[in-house]
A and B are shown apart, each in its own frame.
Chain A
C-alpha cells in the first residue's frame, strides 16, 4: 500500500499536473498544500491551505503531515514568476523550504523530493560542456531565484546529514518547454522577434514538460534517492532553434542588454530578469546520463521538445 503523497505548491505548473497524474494513476492519496486551492482539480485531491511564508508554517505543516500520515513530500513551492519583491521571493523559496524540511523531519516522513534546476550551475565561460551532478552550484549573481535555490540545496545537504533515514531526491530540470509550459523563458522564446546577444550562440538544451512530469511521478511513487539532472538528449545552438521556427533574431550587443538590469518595467512585463541574458551567452548544458539511467530515456529530445513547443504555439495563434 503506497503511502500518502503531499505536494507543496499545488498551484504551480508542475504541482497541478503532478497531482492530476498521480491521482489518475490511482492508489496513493494525494494531499496538496498551497495558500489557495487551485481551480479544476479532481475532488479526490485534498488541499490544505497553508501559507509557507507564515512564521509558524513549520508547525502547521508538521501537524498536517502527521494528521494525514504523509509518506512522501514533493516540494514544488517556488516562485514561478520574477517579482519586484526579492525579499518575499527569498521568504518563500528559501525560508519556506526550511519550514517544509523541518516539518517533514518532525512528522517522520519517509521520503522528500525537491525541485531544483540546472540553472543552479550558472552560465559560466569556464563550465565544461556537460555539467554533471557533482559540479559545484555557482549560479549567477543576478539570478536571485537560483541563488535562493542554491541555498535550498545547501540547506538540504545539511538537513540530510541530520536525518540520514529520510530518502532525498533532488531533481534538476533544465529549461522546460512543451505545449503548455508558461514561464518567462517560454514567453521570451515564443516571440516572433527574439533578442540575442551579438556574437554569441550557445548550445541550448531543453526538456519536455511531459518528461519532467514523468520523472517527478516516478520519484514520488518509488524511492530514487540522489540528485539527478532532468534534461533531454541533444543540444542545439540557439540561432538554429530560433531560425528553424521561422523567428527573427535581433542581435543586441551585450553591454547594452546588461544595462537593462535595473529597468523597472521588466518585472511588470514579466520578461526574464537581466541576468537571464548570460544564459544565452555561456554554456550551462547538463549531463543527463545519470537521470536517464535512473528514470529511463525521455520521450522527446531537445529538437522535438522545441518542435512541440513551437507547434502548439502556432496552432493556438490560428484564427
Chain B
C-alpha cells in the first residue's frame, strides 16, 4: 500500500501553522518560555473538550470559513495522499450560479459530501456547495458541530430550497440512508432516488442538476454486514461491522485509503426534459430515474478505469 500518509511536507506545514497560532496567542515575549507555552496549549486543549473556539465568520447555516481554512491542510492530505482523488468532467461544472449536485452516497460518515464540496470549491473560486447530511448525524455530539462548520446542512427540502434561493449550491444524495447503510457486496449499486425531491426542487427553481459519480468512498467505509436483530431491543437500528469496526474501537471508524475517482456529468436543465414547476409526478419520476441511470452508468465506467481499489 503506497497510500499511507507519507507526506511530511503537508503534515509539517499543518503543524507549523498550529504552533504559529499558539505563539501568536502567547505573545512574542513568552516565545522562549516553554513552560508557559505548555500551559497555554493545555488550556487550549482543555477548552477544546467542549467545542473549539470559533471565529466570527459564520453564515446563517453555520458554515465557518475560518474553520475550513484551518482544516484545509488535513483536507488536502486526504485528497492528495490518502484517497488520491482523480477528478474528471470538471468542465461540466457551471462556473457560477446555484447548482444542485446529485451524487451517489456511501459510508456512514459523509466523507463523500465533504470531499466533493472541497473539489467543487477548488474549481469555483472557493464558492463552496453545502452537502446535505442525514438526520441521525445531527444527534451526534462533536460530529454535528464540526460538520456544520465544514458546510454540512441537514437534508430537508426547506434547507435546500433556502440555500438555492440565496444563490448557494447544494450537494444532495437522493439515495439517503439506503445508500449510506448498504453492505459491501452491494457497492456501487445506486439505490432508489427518494421520491424525486431533487428533480422537483431543480424544476421549481430552474436550477441545473449536475450528476456526480463517486468511486472509492464505498471501499473507504466498507460495511461487511449489519447486526440488526441483536441490537434492536436497545433502540439502535443496526451496528455496522467493517474490517476495522468494532474490532479497533473508535479508531476503526477512520476511513480506509482507497483510490477515489469523481466524475461530473453534463448539467441537466429540467426544462429541457420537459419538467417544470407544473409537471406531473410521472414526468418528475422519469427524469429522476434518468438521473439515477446516468450516475450508475458513470460509476461503471469509473470502476472499469480504476484497476484496483487500494493499489
Which of B61, B145, B156, B162 touches A126 (beta carbons < 8 Å)? B156
Please provide the chain B residues from 15 to 65 with a CB less than 8 Å away from any CB of chain A in the complex: 47, 49-51, 53-56, 58, 60-62
Q: Which of chain B's residues have a CB closer than 8 A to the CB of A234? A: 60
Contact across chains for A249 and B50 when beta carbons are under 8 A apart = yes
Given A128-B158, A129-B162, A240-B54: A198 touches B138 (CB 8 Å cut-off):
no
Q: Which of A126, A237, A239, A250 has the most CB of B within 10 A?
A: A237
Size bracket of the B interface = 20 to 34
Please report the C-alpha to C-alpha distance between residue A197 and residue B141 in the assembled complex, in whole angstroms.
Answer: 9
Q: How far apart are the CA atoms of A130 and B59 in the complex, in Å?
A: 13
Closest to B47 in A: A249
The answer on a CB contact under 8 Å between B138 and A126 is yes
Asked if A240 and B50 make an inter-chain contact with CB atoms under 8 angstroms apart, the answer reads no
Q: Once the chains are docked, how many angstroms separate the CA of A277 from the CA of B138?
A: 16
Please determine whether B138 and A251 come into contact, CB atoms closer than 8 angstroms: no
Contacts A199-B51, A251-B50; A128 near B156 (Cβ below 8 A): yes
Give chain A nearest CB distance to B56 CB in angstroms.
Answer: 6
* Interface 1/0 per residue, B109-144 and A, CB below 8 Å: 000000000000000000000000001101111101
- The contact string, 1 if C-beta is below 8 Å from chain A, for chain B 136-168, is 101111101100100001101011001000000
Q: Are A235 and B62 in contact (CB under 8 A)?
A: yes
**Which of B50, B135, B148, B153 sits near A199, CB closer than 8 Å?**
B50
CB pair A125 B135 closer than 8 Å: yes
- Bound-state CA distance A244–B56 (Å) is 9
C-alpha gap A130/B159 in the complex (Å): 8
Q: Residue on B with the closest CB to A132? A: B158
B-side residues, CB < 8 A to A, are 47, 49-51, 53-56, 58, 60-62, 135-136, 138-142, 144-145, 148, 153-154, 156, 158-159, 162
Residues of A in contact with B, size category: 20 to 34
- B158 to chain A: which residues have CB within 8 Å? 128-130, 132
Are the CB atoms of B154 and A201 closer together than 8 Å?
Answer: no
- B156 touching A240, Cβ below 8 Å: no
Q: CB distance A243 to B53 under 8 Å?
A: yes
Which B residue sits closest to A203, measured CB to CB? B62
Known: A126-B154, A129-B154. A196 touches B60 (CB 8 A): no
In the complex, whether A295 has a CB less than 8 A from a CB of chain B is no
Also in contact, A199 and B142, with CB within 8 A (given A128-B156, A251-B51): yes
Q: A199-B144, A237-B54 are in contact. List 18 more A-B contacts (CB 8 A).
A: A128-B154, A128-B159, A128-B162, A129-B154, A129-B162, A130-B158, A199-B142, A199-B145, A200-B51, A200-B144, A201-B51, A235-B60, A239-B51, A240-B55, A249-B47, A249-B50, A251-B50, A283-B154
Question: Which residues of B are found within 8 Å of A198, using beta-carbon distances?
Answer: 49-50, 141
With A200-B144, A249-B50 already in contact, the answer to whether A126 and B135 are too (CB < 8 A) is yes
> Bound complex: CA of A249 vs CA of B43, how far in Å?
12
Q: Which residue of chain B has its CB nearest to the CB of A131?
A: B158
Q: Mark A232-264, 1 if CB is under 8 A from B, else 0.
A: 001111011001100001110010000000000
A125-B138, A125-B139 in contact; A237/B62 too (CB < 8 A)? yes
Is A282 an interface position by the 8 A CB rule? yes
Docked CA distance A130–B154 (Å): 11
Least Cβ–Cβ distance between A90 and chain B, in angstroms: 30
Using Cβ atoms and an 8 Å threshold, which residues of chain A touch B145?
Answer: 199-201, 237
Residue of B whose beta carbon sits closest to that of A287: B162
Given A129-B61, A203-B62, does the pair A282, B53 have CB atoms closer than 8 Å? no
B141/A199 in contact, CB under 8 A: yes
26 pairs, CB–CB < 8 Å, chain A vs chain B: A125-B139, A126-B135, A126-B154, A126-B156, A127-B154, A128-B156, A129-B62, A129-B158, A129-B162, A199-B142, A199-B144, A200-B141, A201-B51, A203-B62, A203-B148, A235-B58, A235-B62, A237-B145, A239-B51, A240-B54, A240-B58, A249-B47, A250-B50, A251-B49, A251-B51, A254-B141
Report the nearest B residue to A282, measured CB to CB. B138
Closest to B162 in A: A130
CB-CB < 8 A to B138: which residues of A?
A: 125-126, 282
What is the bound-complex CA distance between A251 and B48, given in angstroms? 9
Distance in Å: Cβ of B16 to nearest Cβ of chain A = 25
Query: A284 → chain B, closest Cβ, in Å?
Result: 12
| B54, A239: Cβ atoms closer than 8 Å | yes
